[in-house]
A = this chain, B = another copy of it.
């Protein structure tokens, strides 16, 4: 039940139109999904969020597929149905196989389980894991 309707292209002002053009160019597709069409009601949020997503999800030290898998893992933990569906599809488009998806769910489920064992027993962090990474 969307609080705001997805905006059609001809309802966009210049700032949103520029963002949509960049989404299409970056993703190499004409399709712009509901997330951006709803966020287009708030053009500064649309620009800010798209720029952040574009920067964070770009290939870097982690490859784009790994980033999508992490995105799905967070979305499942938070129970965001929209995000699970769109990012599972994005992961699919970047090469995720059925077997990888099933293993992803299994790891997410295991981590949610063991998180509560550690929290429930209040397990103290081992001395050797207390040092900073860098």
Number of copies: 6
A42 to chain B, nearest CB (A): 4
**Most chain B beta carbons < 10 A, residue from A34, A35, A103, A118:** A118
Residues of B within 8 A of A122 (CB): 1-3, 81, 84-85
In chain A, positions 29-71 with a C-beta closer than 8 Å to chain B are: 31, 33-35, 38-39, 41-42, 44-45, 48-49, 51-53, 55-57, 60-62, 66-67, 69-71
User: CB-defined interface of A1-34 with B at 8 Å, one 1/0 digit per residue?
Assistant: 1111110000000000000000000000001011
Considering the chains assembled together, what is the distance between the CA atoms of A98 and B83 in angstroms?
Answer: 24
In addition to A62-B104, A85-B130, A104-B120, 12 A-B residue pairs with Cβ atoms within 8 Å of each other are: A3-B132, A4-B121, A41-B134, A42-B102, A45-B106, A48-B52, A49-B109, A49-B114, A52-B52, A61-B102, A74-B77, A80-B118
14 contacts between A and B (CB under 8 A): A1-B125, A4-B134, A5-B134, A33-B126, A62-B69, A66-B69, A67-B107, A69-B69, A70-B104, A73-B77, A74-B108, A78-B112, A79-B119, A84-B119
